[in-house]
Amino acid sequence: MRLRLAATLAALISLASTSAFAAAPRDCQPQAIRDLERLAPQGYAVYQAMRDKKQFLAFLTCSDVQLGLSTAVHESVHILTEQRDGYPLITGGLLPRQHSVSRFFPPREIAGKFKVDSYVETYLRRGAASSADDLMYLLDELNAYSHDLGSASQLVGLKQRDGEVDHRAGLAALMAFLLEYVEVAREHKATTWEGLRRPEIKQLLETLWLQAESTLIASLPIRGFGGEAYLQRLCDTRHGGALAELFGRPPIDPSACAGFATAASPTGAVTK
Ligand SMILES: [Zn+2]
């Protein structure tokens, strides 16, 4: 699930109900797919992997092709993850899901560690997305947002109108959630902490984290992509001790945090 999905669908329904615009939303799709292949080959690989292309195209709105494509990639990654019981990686290949993590404590228990915003509401609140109840789905979101931001970063040139979209905020939020989850596990949830340290689980987390981290860092020079509040948290050395212990390295390359200060703008902070 992508946070802006509901708004996108509402806009689509609204457009479709107006006869003058009924055909408009799909006009861009053939060119958009060609642009995806040319500019974001790893996003195009997700499109190619979809057995039913209509499932991809359903999310490809034309009012903002950059957003439409990255949303379609995000949602398609979720579909592929379910179909294959594994996380498709940006560089190719499939990382099998580890169902044992579903027995770990529910991610919603870390919600109180964050200021309430739309990401906390969507992904950590009880009764919202399945990521609130099950770490396996929180990792699903982490992977989907990595693909999402990776494609959005490569599709910047397709932006046809003003208006900033927080393409970076989702991935930064999911990384902050995982970082805090591991922190709480080490401090208060002995069984989960023990489980997280099992080699196959640690490797799963590390692979998804490194992919997320490199995607996030690569996006930092792009202005107007949002996520500053979560970036600051990820770069705050008071957080992340447990993840550092688990991985044997800082959660985020400290040199990237120094550079992030130049990408940050107070107006883009997540405050909803
Ligand atoms: Zn999602």
Structure tokens belonging to residue 215: 């995607």
* Position 264 confidence tier, pLDDT thresholds 50, 70, 90: very low
Structure tokens belonging to residue 20: 């003058």
pLDDT at 254: 86
Q: Which of 263, 172, 265, 170 is nearest to 222 (CA)?
A: 263
Distance 1 CA to ligand 1 centre (A): 3
Q: What is the pLDDT of residues 78-120, one digit of tens each?
A: 999 999 999 999 999 999 999 999 999 999 999 999 999 999 9
DSSP-derived 3-state class of residue 172: helix
Q: Looking at the whole model, is its pTM more than 0.85? A: yes
* Position 16 confidence tier, pLDDT thresholds 50, 70, 90: very low
How far apart CA 212 and CA 73 sit, in angstroms, is: 15
φ, ψ of residue 76 to 5 degrees: the values are -70, -35
Q: What is the pLDDT of residues 91-102, one digit of tens each?
A: 999 999 999 999
Distance 198 CA to ligand 1 centre (A): 26
Near ion ligand 1, which residues have CB within 5 Å? 1-2, 141, 144
Distance 122 CA to ligand 1 centre (A): 10
Distance 213 CA to ligand 1 centre (A): 18
Domain boundaries, the chain: 5-268
Q: Would the pLDDT of 7 be above 50?
A: no
